[in-house]
Each structure stands twice: as structure tokens, then as C-alpha cells.
């Protein structure tokens, strides 16, 4: 029986259950220098966070436009920076038009809820990011979740539908396992069945393909009228914000009807200025994406050499599979003790039995960083008894 005099009792009880299962989460305050640890946990894939060129872009934006964007993009929140960012993100990814949102999460809500709706089927990969999952729910569409990276299953669901319209939605690079969606096959399935394909480039932008133009561009489907991209400015571009890219009709539809766009304050000018500067850096240093990818393969090789289960990275994200939450937490602590900060993912962020370390490579990692990581991963392997050498 619930104690009506103690409205917080149920939260304490639920927290105790999560603690027992090793599933409590904690904020992780850090210093500017990552507490002296090597950063192998952030999404700063190109190592641009703290780059003076981006800082200068942000500062110049604040000096000219102020510390806030002052209103929604339909009222006072579209500065010249926003308009330029709309254009340049579209040009980079190979799309006809672009629309900057104040986060990647909101870009997904805007795209999927705005393009979906009652009478539109949404087909979603089972490993899609939480923002896509929530966007599906918010769309009030019928949603069918398909097995991971299964374009044949998507085609089947699309062909069997009763709805006139459909969206297929997928991460380009999956955020924890770091694998790549079969974009060309998904596009074929979508096109054959009159559906739109929505691709979240969050972990691919700046890393995948020549010039970091993203996975859809690399797959040759960017700019197709039935392809819509979403992205975040908060990872490779070391800023904050998001965007939807696609055909002008799609962008105009979101401007008119996308609630996550219309009713949200425009992106902060500092973030827009930093993102524009990051695009300049990406253009000036075209080898950065390849360096991030090569470093990710190096991280994978070190995990393998230590005898740990890992996977081939499509971009900069490398998983190290540990199985149970407690094992992943122990491994994260061991890495920290050895000087490396890595991510730790447990259910419900990943499926049960798939708790893992999430190790992210940066374009700017050096030899000493790899030596530290190799030591840390060997220590993890020793502690889990998984090492091939013991
Ligand atoms: N999509 C994916 C695949 C992500 O991993 C994230 C962020 N973790 C987002 C969208 C949300 O982007 P943002 O952080 O800019 O809200």
C-alpha cells in the first residue's frame, strides 16, 4: 500500500532496486583538464573542444549577438549566424536545405514527430538512440521496431503496411556499439515502398566519409529527395545544437509545423559561432576525420590484443563488451586508476547482458595515450579473467 503521507517513498524504493542491480547513475563532475585523465569518453571526436579558433568564433558571436538568441527562430532567434549555419550544414552533408535546432535531441523530435503522425507508419531500428525512440512515441504514428541493421525486415514491414505514408528512421553510426547502419539497403527499401528515410548523423558527422561529410554522403544517398538527415553540433563540432537537413519541402514543413522547432528558443549565438568555426577547421584540415577513424581502429586493436571482446568501429566509437553492469563499472574504475577516462554503459541504455565500456577515439590522441590505454585494457582483462594470455 502506498504511503500517501510520503510522496517520495516510491522513488527511494526504486533507487534501492537500481542500486542492488548496479544501475544507479551519477553525475560526473570533471575539471577542465579531465582530472588529469586521458579523455576516451567524450564525443569530442576531432579534439576541437577548447580549440582557440572555435573559442574565437564563440566570443565574436557573443560580442555581436549577445548571450542569448532572444526568441524562437520564427520571431527573433534567427541571426545571420543561424542562417549561415543552416546553409553550410546542408552544403557539407550534400543536402538541399537545412534547419538548425537548439539540440540534436530536438532535431530528432522535430524530424520524426513533424514528418510522422497518425496515418504515417514509422519503422525504427531496435538500437536507435533514445531521442529517436521518444520521437517515435511523440509522433503518434504506429511504430514498428525492427531487428538491428535489418534492411530486409524493414522492407517487409513497409510492404505489408496499411498506412499510405511511412518513415524509416535509423542512427547512421550507433551510439554505443559504433556500428554502421546499412544505409544504401535501407534507402532501397524505403524508395521501393514510397517511404522517407531519416538518418541521424550524430556520430558520423565529422568522422565518416571524405571530409567528414557523414554516412549518408558516403553511401551516396545524401541529397536524394526521400532522404532526411538529422545531426548534432555537440560532438565532432564541439559546440551545441542540432539540425535537420533535406529537401526544401521537408524543411518548410518543419518550419510550419515542427513543434520542437517552433516553440523552442533559437540556438545560442555562441554555439552557432563555435559550430561555424568548427566547419572552417574541418574544411582546412581534411585529414582530421581519417585520423579519428584510424585512432578508433587502434583502440579496437588494443582491446583485442588484451583479449577483450570488441567490435569494428565505423567511426570513433569503440565498445568493449563486459556483460554485466558490475563488471563494466569495475572495468571503468580500473581504467580510471590507470589514467584513462572511458564511458560505461549499462541497461537500460543498452540491452540486458550487454553492459560495456564505450571508448571514444579522438583525432588528436598520441602515442603516450595509446600506451596508457593498452595498460588499462590489459588490467581490465586480467581482472575479468578474459585475457587470452592467462
Ligand atoms: N542522436 C544520437 C545518436 C545521439 O547520440 C545524441 C546525443 N547523445 C543525440 C541524438 C542528441 O544530440 P544532442 O546531445 O545534441 O541533444
ipTM of the complex: 0.99
pLDDT in the model for residue 382: 95
| Ligand 1 geometric centre to CA of 9 (Å) | 32
Pairing state of beta strands 165-171 and 120-125? parallel
Q: Which three cell numbers stand for residue 296?
A: 578508433
Nearest atom, ligand 1, residue 234 CA: 15
131 part of the active site: no
Mutating to test ligand 1, I would choose from 43, 103, 202 the residue with most ligand atoms within 8 A of its C-beta, which is 202
| Ligand 1 geometric centre to CA of 144 (Å) | 21
Phi, psi for 288 (deg, rounded to 5): -60, -50
Nearest atom, ligand 1, residue 171 CA: 3
pLDDT in the model for residue 28: 83
Mutating to test ligand 1, I would choose from 107, 124, 131 the residue with most ligand atoms within 8 A of its C-beta, which is 131
Closest Cα to residue 237, out of 266, 220, 213, 210?
213
Query: Distance (Å, rounded) from C-alpha 132 to C-alpha 134?
Result: 5
| Ligand 1 geometric centre to CA of 241 (Å) | 9
352 part of the active site: no
On whether the CB atoms of residues 183 and 164 are closer than 8 A, the answer is: no
Query: Distance (Å, rounded) from C-alpha 158 to C-alpha 279?
Result: 37
Mutating to test ligand 1, I would choose from 133, 174, 175, 244 the residue with most ligand atoms within 8 A of its C-beta, which is 175
- Spell out the residues 6+ positions from residue 63 whose beta carbon is closer than 8 angstroms to its own: none
On whether the CB atoms of residues 178 and 207 are closer than 8 A, the answer is: no
pLDDT in the model for residue 385: 77
Per residue of the chain (390 residues), give pLDDT as tens.
Answer: 556 789 999 999 999 999 998 788 888 889 999 999 999 999 999 999 999 999 999 999 999 999 999 999 999 999 999 999 999 999 999 999 999 999 999 999 999 999 999 999 999 999 999 999 999 999 999 999 999 999 999 999 999 999 999 999 999 999 999 999 999 999 999 999 999 999 999 999 999 999 999 999 999 999 999 999 999 999 999 999 999 999 999 999 999 999 999 999 999 999 999 999 999 999 999 999 999 999 999 999 999 999 999 999 999 999 999 999 999 999 999 999 999 999 999 988 888 899 999 999 999 999 999 999 999 999 999 998 754 443
Own/partner long-range contacts of 61-65 (Cβ < 8 Å, ≥24 apart): 61/269, 61/270, 61/272, 61/273, 61/274, 62/269, 62/270, 62/273, 64/269, 65/269
Mutating to test ligand 1, I would choose from 85, 176, 232 the residue with most ligand atoms within 8 A of its C-beta, which is 232
Nearest atom, ligand 1, residue 128 CA: 3
Residue nearest to atom 15 of ligand 1 (CA): 104
On whether the CB atoms of residues 356 and 277 are closer than 8 A, the answer is: no
Ligand 1 pocket, Cβ-based, cut-off 6 angstroms: 103-105, 108, 129, 131, 171, 175, 200, 202-203, 232, 234, 242
pLDDT in the model for residue 1: 59
| Ligand 1 geometric centre to CA of 105 (Å) | 5
pLDDT in tens, 5-23: 899 999 999 999 999 987 8
| Ligand 1 geometric centre to CA of 148 (Å) | 19
349 part of the active site: no
pLDDT in the model for residue 390: 35
Could you report how far apart the first and last alpha carbons of the chain are, in Å? 52
Residue nearest to atom 5 of ligand 1 (CA): 175
Domain boundaries, the chain: 29-48+287-384, 66-284
pLDDT in the model for residue 310: 97
In CATH, what is the architecture of 66-284?
A: 3-Layer(aba) Sandwich (3.40)
- State the average pLDDT for the chain: 96
The residue from 103, 139, 175, 349 that is catalytic is: 175
Residue nearest to atom 1 of ligand 1 (CA): 202
| Ligand 1 geometric centre to CA of 387 (Å) | 34
pLDDT in tens, 320-348: 999 999 999 999 999 999 999 999 999 88
The residue from 82, 187, 217, 235 that is catalytic is: 235
Nearest atom, ligand 1, residue 232 CA: 15
pLDDT in the model for residue 386: 52
SS (H, E, C) the chain: CCCCCCCCHHHHHHHHHHHHCCCCCCCCCCCCCHHHCEEECCCCCCCCCCCHHHHHHHHHHHHHHCCCCCCECCCCCCCHHHHHHHHHHHHHHCCCEEEEECCHHHHHHHHHHHHCCCCEEEEEECCCCHHHHHHHHHHCCEEEEECCCCHHHHHHHHHCCCCCEEEEEEECECCCCCCECCHHHHHHHHHHCCCEEEEECCCCCCCCCHHHCCHHHHCCCCCCCCEEEEEECCCCCCCCCEEEEECHHHHHHHHHHCHHHHCCECCCHHHHHHHHHHHHHHHHCCCHHHHHHHHHHHHHHHHHHCCCEECCCCCCEEEEEEECHHHHHHHHHHHHHCCEEEEEECCCCCCCCCEEEEEECCCCCCHHHHHHHHHHHHHHHHHHCCCCCC
pLDDT in the model for residue 388: 47
Q: Which three cell numbers stand for residue 361?
A: 577515439
State which CATH number among 3.30.1490.20, 3.90.1150.10, 3.40.1160.10, 1.10.3720.10 fits the domain covering 29-48+287-384: 3.90.1150.10
Amino acid at each position: 500500500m502506498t504511503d500517501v503521507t510520503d510522496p517520495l517513498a516510491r522513488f527511494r524504493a526504486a533507487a534501492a532496486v537500481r542500486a542492488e542491480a548496479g544501475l544507479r547513475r551519477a553525475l560526473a563532475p570533471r575539471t577542465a583538464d579531465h582530472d588529469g585523465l586521458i579523455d576516451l569518453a567524450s564525443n569530442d571526436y576531432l579534439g576541437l573542444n577548447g580549440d582557440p579558433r572555435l573559442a574565437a568564433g564563440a566570443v565574436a558571436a557573443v560580442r555581436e549577438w549577445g548571450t542569448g538568441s532572444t526568441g524562437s527562430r520564427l520571431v527573433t532567434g534567427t541571426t545571420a549566424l543561424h542562417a549561415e549555419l543552416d546553409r553550410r550544414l546542408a552544403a557539407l552533408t550534400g543536402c538541399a536545405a537545412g534547419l538548425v535546432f537548439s539540440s540534436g535531441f530536438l532535431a530528432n523530435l522535430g524530424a520524426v514527430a513533424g514528418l510522422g503522425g497518425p496515418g504515417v507508419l514509422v519503422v525504427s531500428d531496435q538500437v536507435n538512440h533514445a531521442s529517436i525512440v521518444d520521437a517515435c512515441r511523440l509522433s503518434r504514428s504506429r511504430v514498428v521496431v525492427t531487428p538491428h541493421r535489418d534492411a530486409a525486415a524493414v522492407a517487409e514491414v513497409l510492404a505489408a503496411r496499411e498506412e499510405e505514408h511511412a518513415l524509416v528512421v535509423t542512427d547512421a553510426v550507433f551510439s554505443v556499439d559504433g556500428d554502421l547502419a546499412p544505409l544504401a539497403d535501407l534507402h532501397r527499401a524505403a524508395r521501393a515502398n514510397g517511404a522517407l528515410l531519416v538518418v541521424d548523423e550524430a556520430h558520423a558527422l565529422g568522422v565518416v566519409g571524405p571530409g567528414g561529410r557523414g554516412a549518408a554522403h558516403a553511401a551516396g544517398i545524401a541529397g536524394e529527395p526521400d532522404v532526411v538527415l538529422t545531426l548534432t553540433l555537440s560532438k565532432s563540432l564541439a559546440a551545441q545544437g542540432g539540425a535537420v537537413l533535406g529537401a526544401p519541402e521537408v524543411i518548410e514543413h518543419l518550419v510550419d509545423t515542427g513543434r520542437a522547432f517552433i516553440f523552442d528558443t533559437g540556438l545560442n549565438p555562441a554555439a552557432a559561432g563555435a559550430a561555424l568555426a568548427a566547419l572552417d577547421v574541418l574544411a582546412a584540415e581534411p585529414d582530421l576525420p581519417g585520423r579519428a577513424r584510424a585512432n578508433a581502429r587502434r583502440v579496437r586493436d588494443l582491446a583485442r590484443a588484451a583479449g577483450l571482446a570488441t567490435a569494428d568501429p565505423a567511426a570513433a566509437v569503440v565498445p568493449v563488451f563486459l556483460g554485466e553492469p558490475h563488471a563494466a563499472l569495475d572495468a571503468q574504475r580500473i581504467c580510471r586508476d590507470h589514467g584513462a577516462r572511458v564511458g560505461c554503459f549499462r541497461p537500460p541504455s543498452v540491452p540486458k547482458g550487454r553492459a560495456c565500456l564505450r571508448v571514444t577515439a579522438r583525432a588528436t590522441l598520441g602515442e603516450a595515450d595509446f600506451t596508457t590505454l593498452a595498460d588499462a585494457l590489459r588490467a581490465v582483462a586480467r581482472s575479468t579473467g578474459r585475457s587470452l594470455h592467462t
